[in-house]
Amino acid sequence: MEVKINKDIREFSESIFFGLTMRQFIFSLLACVVAVILYFSLKPFFGIETLSWICILGATPFAVLGFVKYNGMTAEKFIIAFIRSEFLTPKTLTFKSKNIYAEMFKPTIEKKLKQGLVKQQHKHKEKKNRKPKKSKKEVIDNAENTKKDI
């Protein structure tokens, strides 16, 4: 005797009829009933090929509701969640980052920047007040002139 055990206990489903769960069995019956009703009600108006496609299209939503699961949700739960998220509460999400580290050191950074600007301003003033550098020729001529004076 062999007993199959699912790896995940939450995935366990008891099969009721033909290996289907109760939910799948009920929705399969609904799909068949809808297909039969469509067949007999539309038989006088359409040919057999068109009628078969109408029956398939009429039964498909019920089959989907019974068998489809998405992210652990049944089809109707997924449809409700989709309608809520997309139509009832649409949101535009924008990303705004906040650098806590930079916020913590903001006063220090501003202080350093001000000091740096002050130092740069002092350097500018010093450069303006300085005498222009002499070329090598001027330095040599001045040295020769001082030798002559001595």
Q: What is the pLDDT of residues 61-109, one digit of tens each?
A: 988 888 888 888 888 888 899 898 888 886 777 888 888 887 888 888 8
Question: b or e along 62-83 (b: 16 or more beta carbons within 10 Å of the residue's beta carbon)?
Answer: bbebbbeeeeeeebeeeeeeee
pTM value is 0.48
- Positive/negative CA dihedral, 85, 86, 88, 93: positive
6-10, 34-38, 49-53, 137-141: least confidently modelled range: 6-10
Q: What is the Cα–Cα distance from 109 to 105, expressed in whole angstroms?
A: 6
pLDDT over 70 at 122, yes or no: no
pLDDT over 90 at 17, yes or no: no
Q: What is the mean pLDDT of residues 24-33?
A: 91
Kindly list the domain boundaries of the chain, sorted by start residue. 9-88, 100-149
pLDDT over 70 at 135, yes or no: no
Q: Which pLDDT score, from 0 to 100, does residue 96 have?
A: 83
End-to-end CA distance of the chain: 124
Q: Which amino acid appears at position 15 of this protein?
A: S
pLDDT over 80 at 56, yes or no: yes
